Amino acid sequence: MTRHRRRVGRREDLGQATVELALVLPVLVVLAMALVQVGLVARTTVLVQHAAREGARVAAVGGSIREVEDAVIGSSGLLLPDTDVERIVEGDLVTVTVRHLARTDAPLVGPLLPDVVLSATVSMRRERRGGRRRRVHPMVVYRWGVQSLTEGAGDRVQLDVHRYARESCVVLAVLGELDLAGAPRLRQSVVSETATGIRHLVLDLTAVDFIDSTGLGVVVGALKRLRAHGAELSVVCPEQRIRRVFEMCDLDRVFTLHGTVDDAVSASGSV
């Protein structure tokens, strides 16, 4: 009697395992498909980076926008309707941005996830024909529309300058390490801004990871150049480690270091 009961008990256990498996299996399958989807997006991310680099390479040797597009599409196999290529020539730098709409279409999970916009920007120095040939490391900046997947990919960033207008000011947002290697890039941006006759330039150093005396020299040079044109300069520098270098050189007494771009913009004219 007892034996029989025990056997029945085991059978019930077996049934329970089957029911549990039946409950858990769909979850496992969905998780596995989600992993596949993440893998696909990661692959596309690499393709977009690669495509931007190929495009920039063609642009650096003077390729037309058509040739840049061909290089981008040809090197990556990304679909043209979902891909947007932009080429900006600024001074001796050329910047190629590739934006790609990665459609999430893995079975089961695809419809649940929003499509992702991946973008990669690569700047390279334009190669001049003839003249002094110097090997220059390409400056590579990656940005992702959704989130920054790779902090480490910024390792090769030397310096990047983004320009935008805010109210009556022009803001130059500086990104990267402002040293002897990065200084010419910023100096050139300041020179071309001054030439357009602006009244107020804001240098945003929030995203500067490192500055040395050469970098400070560019900021001082910008102040002199702007004053000579009757314009003013504001510096945004919230990071203590960068502020400190200004302080070491007593330049915090020459510049007001603002905490945010908005502060700097609203300080316009009141100085």
Residues that bind another protein (CB under 8 A): 134-137, 158, 177, 179-181, 210, 212-214, 216-218, 220-221, 223-224, 241, 245, 248-251, 253-254
According to DSSP H, which parts of the chain are helical?
2-60, 65-76, 183-195, 213-228, 240-248, 261-266
Tell me whether residue 99 or residue 126 sits nearer to another protein (CB atom).
126
Q: How far is the CB of 228 from another protein (least distance, A)?
A: 11
According to DSSP, the β-strands at 159-166 and 139-142 are: unpaired
Nearer to another protein, 38 or 249 (CB): 249
Q: Which is nearer to another protein, 43 or 224 (CB)?
A: 224
Closest distance of CB 144 from another protein, Å: 23
Nearer to another protein, 202 or 245 (CB): 245
Q: How many CB atoms lie within 10 A of CB 175?
A: 21
**Could you tell me which residues come within 8 angstroms of residue 49 by beta carbon, excluding any fewer than 6 positions away?**
120, 122, 142, 153
* Cβ neighbours of 40 (radius 10 Å): 16
Q: Cβ of residue 23: shortest distance to another protein, in angstroms?
A: 46
Task: Record the tokens describing residue 157, joined without a space.
Answer: 């960033």
State the nearest-atom distance from the C-beta of 235 to another protein, in Å.
Answer: 14
CB of 230 to another protein, least distance (A): 16
Closest CB 239 distance from another protein, rounded Å: 11
Q: Using the minimum distance from each CB to another protein, give the nearer residue, 41 or 124.
A: 124
Nearer to another protein, 6 or 244 (CB): 244
Alpha carbon dihedral 70, 161, 128, 142, in 10-degree steps, equals: -40
Looking at the DSSP bridge assignments, the partners of residue 125 are 93
What is the 3-state secondary structure of 66-91? HHHHHHHHHHHCCCHHHEEEEEEEEC
Q: Using the minimum distance from each CB to another protein, give the nearer residue, 71 or 208.
A: 208
Q: Is 167 exposed, middle or buried (0-12, 13-18, 19+ CB in 10 A)?
A: exposed
> Which one, of 173, 43, 74, 53, lies nearest residue 120 by Cα?
53
> Minimum CB separation from another protein for residue 271, in Å?
15
